[in-house]
């Protein structure tokens, strides 16, 4: 996401320039991947972890900077005009509120806060707001809508504004949708709702999809004079399922899916109101209408300084620990010697245990400041049973020019269905539809990694990944170890001695053969691949003792196009759980033969449908102990070769370890080979 450096500095006086600020933020886990100059401002392109929605805004990043540099963080204190005399409290015995709010679904909506603004003038936003939104690639709409977007990027709390006069019945109801209800959302799409959808409704109909998008019929226009501001707390799981069900991912749903700040509803309403008043005038009707259906409280976490020292391996000053945590918003109460009860701030839903607090201390103190030490150890080193095989695979691939990748272990339903046919394991609380099931294949992740590199100008790639794939077997989750290879671009770089050559199926087959040659086996053969995402004429499966241990080949052009891959892509999948049943091949030396080898060439015509694997099997199946190799030397199609056939020149090499071969023996073996190949439908052309 993009965040403005100047906007961050509105809340904290950082004593360094933007480049050093970017480096410091990156060092504490708020990754700044790029810096872009936008006029007088600098925009950070940041990678914020999905567990840190509190940092997906300028105030959250300013809080991090405050802790890094130990400087004060300016508080958000909206300044509003005095409200009119309308009542605003929902407490028992209080006067009737101007707009009753009824929360029917307490689990889905724990809190709903609103404010009413009257006699507002809807116009264009002030230049400062429009420019700041534009620097984040956000389009300015009008001062009321832009105020909600501004607050979203300022403090991270999604809000919404309704045209109050278009709400029917004088009340707001938070409820589940009725089966078949229709809601036209702000994007102009009419959506058919089900009983699983949570909506904001007036007395007659839904006017917004909770935590996702408002309704078209109550949107703010130039005719709007009275505005209802809404800020609520929505259940993350409900929002995530709705967003996925309707294919509607918004800035609001992105944050609500990860957990919003329960205590920020009133503050965010006030901040939106302040921004609207600055450009549109009007008057405030009453105070905030704040309905709390249930509280979202986090229990205090015990922090022991002895545990901090044990985990981090060094003793930090108590004052330093207290300073770091308080700058991040944690409240500490001393319970006994070197033990604190730590109250977790409402915006830090990711902190639940003592170890989470210790991680906060470590990242703000600086990982680079901890001395390098080895853990205490006594006894023998126990190596994992498959460590030697893993090491052999990894070293072989690195020697072949491949680089290792470590992507996520999640897929979308679509990818799981496209690249495997096993039952999937659903993620109970997925971050998004793109990561809603455990991976059933490594191919989608490899294609994503290849596309990522190709889109950044890296055209010559050889990548590999070793990881687990998962499938459901009733109530049991099965794990299988897999290896994926991905390659594209040039097989050989151009130089003064040779031109460049594109990577081909046979390059990939050679790499797979090199891998499989490390494992002991009696038979290895190749047959056509059956997976639909492989090119039917440029793919194969490897069968070791009749068991499939790998499939590989060129990605089908249709599959490549669907992933926006514009050059030939080659993929290999190795089933390590099956391959690892074999022992690593023991390296043995053998004296060079003392007796000469004898070669014979055979030129045959074969039908196009006959693969070389059958030719090879037919020859080696004769059991000729002296047949050392059978190599295809030339292949030719066209010219005088009949259509539907190809001409193949085979070279057989015979050799014995204990004697010189006689001519009659070689002639006999050659005749057997000719007979075997003729049995396959081949026609001998010459000897």
Q: What pLDDT was estimated at residue 87?
A: 43
Q: What is the average pLDDT score of the chain?
A: 92
Q: Which two tokens stand for residue 65?
A: 């900077």
Phi, psi of 213 (to 5 degrees): -160, 145
Q: What pLDDT was estimated at residue 95?
A: 41
pLDDT in tens, 398-453: 999 999 998 888 988 889 888 988 898 888 877 777 888 899 999 999 999 999 99
Do 652 and 630 form a contact (C-beta atoms < 8 A)?
A: yes
621: Cβ contacts below 8 Å, ≥ 6 apart: 676
Domains of the chain: 2-69 (3.30.56.10), 101-292 (3.50.40.10), 301-343+351-368 (3.30.56.10), 387-579 (3.30.930.10), 598-686 (3.30.70.380)
Phi, psi of 327 (to 5 degrees): -65, -30
Strand 182-184 and strand 190-192: the pairing is: antiparallel
pLDDT in tens, 172-228: 999 999 999 999 999 999 999 999 999 999 999 999 999 999 999 999 999 999 999
Give the model's confidence band at 97: pLDDT under 50 very low, under 70 low, under 90 confident, else very high. Answer: low
Q: Please state, as a whole number, how many other Cβ atoms lie within 10 Å of the Cβ of residue 631.
A: 11
Q: Is 137 helix (H, G, I), strand (E, B) or coil?
A: coil
**Of 187, 243, 174, nearest in space to 215 by CA:** 187
Q: What pLDDT was estimated at residue 593?
A: 85
Q: What pLDDT was estimated at residue 372?
A: 82
**219-223 contact pairs (CB < 8 A, 24+):** 219/162, 219/163, 219/186, 220/122, 220/142, 220/144, 220/145, 220/161, 220/162, 220/163, 221/122, 221/163, 222/122, 222/123, 222/142, 223/122
DSSP 8-state symbol, 481: E
pLDDT in tens, 135-167: 999 999 999 999 999 999 999 999 999 999 999
CA-CA distance, 457 to 566, in Å (whole number)?
12
Computed from CA positions of residues 576, 578, 579, 585, in that sequence, does the dihedral angle turn out positive or negative? Answer: positive
CB neighbour burial string for 165-189, b if at least 16 within 10 angstroms, e if fewer: ebbeeeebbbbbbeeebebebbeee
Residue 533 has pLDDT above 80, yes or no: yes
CA-CA distance, 303 to 356, in Å (whole number)?
10
Do 479 and 469 form a contact (C-beta atoms < 8 A)?
A: yes
Q: What pLDDT was estimated at residue 86?
A: 53
DSSP 8-state symbol, 555: E
Question: Where does 546-642 show beta strands of DSSP type E?
Answer: 547-555, 570-574, 598-607, 627-636
Give 469's strand partners. Answer: 480
Q: Please tell me whether the overall predicted TM-score, pTM, comes out greater than 0.75 for this model.
A: no
pLDDT in tens, 13-44: 999 999 999 999 999 999 999 999 887 899 99
Please report, in angstroms and rounded to a whole number, the separation of the first and last CA atoms in the chain: 70
Residue 88 has pLDDT above 50, yes or no: no
Do 344 and 47 form a contact (C-beta atoms < 8 A)?
A: no
CA-CA distance, 284 to 270, in Å (whole number)?
10
pLDDT in tens, 617-638: 999 999 999 999 999 999 999 9
Least confident of 77-81, 345-349, 367-371: 367-371
Do 191 and 236 form a contact (C-beta atoms < 8 A)?
A: no
> Angle at which helices 265-280 and 143-155 pack, to 10 degrees?
140
Using CB atoms within 10 A of its CB, is residue 383 exposed (0-12), middle (13-18) or buried (19+)? exposed
Q: Which two tokens stand for residue 220?
A: 């703010």
DSSP 8-state symbol, 638: S
Q: Is 29 helix (H, G, I), strand (E, B) or coil?
A: coil
Residue 237 has pLDDT above 80, yes or no: yes
Give the model's confidence band at 382: pLDDT under 50 very low, under 70 low, under 90 confident, else very high. Answer: confident
SS (H, E, C) 338-400: CEEEEECCCCCCCCCCHHHHHHHHHHHHCHHHCCCCCCCCCCCCCCCCCHHHHHHHHHHHHHC
CA-CA distance, 178 to 119, in Å (whole number)?
34
Strand 461-473 and strand 403-404: the pairing is: parallel
């Amino acid at each position: 996401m993009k965040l403005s450096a100047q906007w961050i500095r509105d809340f904290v006086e950082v004593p360094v320039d933007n480049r050093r600020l970017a480096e410091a933020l990156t060092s504490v886990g708020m990754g700044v991947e790029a810096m872009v100059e936008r006029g007088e401002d600098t925009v950070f392109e940041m990678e914020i972890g999905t567990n840190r929605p509190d940092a997906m805004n300028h105030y959250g990043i300013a809080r991090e900077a405050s802790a890094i540099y130990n400087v004060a963080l300016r508080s958000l204190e909206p300044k509003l005009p005095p409200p009119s005399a309308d009542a605003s409290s929902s407490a028992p015995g209080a006067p009737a509120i101007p707009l009753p709010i009824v929360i029917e679904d307490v689990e889905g909506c724990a809190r709903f806060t609103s404010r009413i603004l009257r006699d507002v003038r809807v116009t264009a936003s002030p230049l400062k707001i429009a420019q700041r939104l534009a620097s984040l690639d956000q389009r300015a709409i009008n001062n009321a809508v832009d105020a909600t977007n501004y607050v979203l990027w300022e403090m991270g709390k999604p809000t919404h504004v309704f045209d109050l006069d278009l709400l029917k019945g004088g009340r707001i109801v938070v409820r589940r949708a009725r089966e078949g209800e229709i809601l036209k959302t702000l994007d102009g799409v009419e959506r058919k709702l089900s009983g699983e959808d949570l909506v904001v409704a007036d007395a007659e109909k839904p006017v917004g999809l909770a935590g996702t998008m408002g309704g078209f019929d109550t949107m703010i226009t130039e005719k709007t004079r009275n505005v209802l501001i809404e800020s609520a707390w929505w259940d993350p799981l409900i929002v995530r399922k709705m967003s996925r069900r309707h294919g509607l991912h918004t800035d609001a749903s992105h944050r609500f899916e990860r957990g919003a700040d329960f205590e920020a509803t009133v503050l965010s309403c006030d901040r939106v109101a302040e921004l609207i008043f600055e450009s549109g005038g009007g008057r405030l009707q009453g105070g905030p209408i704040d309905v709390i259906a249930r509280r979202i409280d986090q229990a205090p976490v015990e922090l022991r300084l002895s545990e901090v020292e044990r985990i981090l391996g060094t003793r930090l000053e108590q004052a330093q620990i207290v300073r770091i945590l308080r700058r991040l918003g944690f409240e500490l109460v001393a319970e006994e010697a070197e033990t604190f009860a730590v109250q977790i701030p409402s915006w830090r839903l990711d902190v639940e245990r003592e170890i989470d607090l210790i991680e906060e201390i470590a990242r703000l103190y600086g990982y680079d400041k901890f001395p390098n030490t080895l853990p205490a150890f006594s006894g023998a080193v126990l190596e994992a049973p498959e460590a030697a095989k893993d090491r052999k695979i990894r070293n072989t691939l690195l020697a072949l020019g491949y680089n290792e990748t470590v992507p996520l272990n999640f897929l979308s339903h679509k990818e799981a269905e496209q690249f495997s046919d096993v039952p999937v394991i659903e993620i109970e609380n997925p971050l998004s539809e793109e990561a809603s099931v455990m991976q059933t294949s490594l191919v989608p992740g490899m294609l994503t990694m290849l596309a990522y590199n190709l889109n950044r100008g890296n055209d010559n790639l050889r990548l590999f990944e070793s990881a687990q794939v998962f499938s459901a077997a009733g109530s049991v989750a099965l794990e299988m170890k897999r290896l994926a290879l991905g390659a594209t671009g040039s097989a050989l770089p151009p130089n003064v001695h040779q031109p460049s050559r594109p990577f081909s199926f046979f390059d990939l087959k050679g790499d797979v053969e090199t891998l499989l040659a490390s494992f002991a086996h009696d038979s290895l053969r190749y047959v056509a691949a059956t997976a639909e995402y492989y090119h039917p004429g440029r793919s194969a499966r490897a069968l070791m003792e009749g068991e499939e241990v790998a499939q590989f080949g060129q990605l089908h052009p249709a599959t490549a196009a669907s992933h926006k891959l514009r050059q030939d892509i080659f993929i290999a999948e190795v089933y390590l759980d099956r391959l690892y049943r074999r022992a690593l091949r023991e390296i043995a030396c053998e004296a060079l033969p003392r007796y000469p080898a004898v070669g014979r060439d055979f030129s045959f015509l074969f039908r196009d449908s006959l693969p070389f694997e059958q030719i090879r099997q037919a020859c080696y199946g004769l059991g000729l102990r002296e047949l050392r190799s059978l190599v295809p030397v030339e292949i030719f199609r066209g010219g005088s070769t009949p259509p539907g056939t190809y001409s193949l020149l085979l070279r057989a090499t015979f050799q014995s370890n204990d004697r010189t071969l006689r001519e009659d023996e070689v002639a006999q073996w050659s005749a057997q080979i000719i007979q075997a190949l003729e049995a396959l439908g081949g026609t001998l052309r010459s000897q």
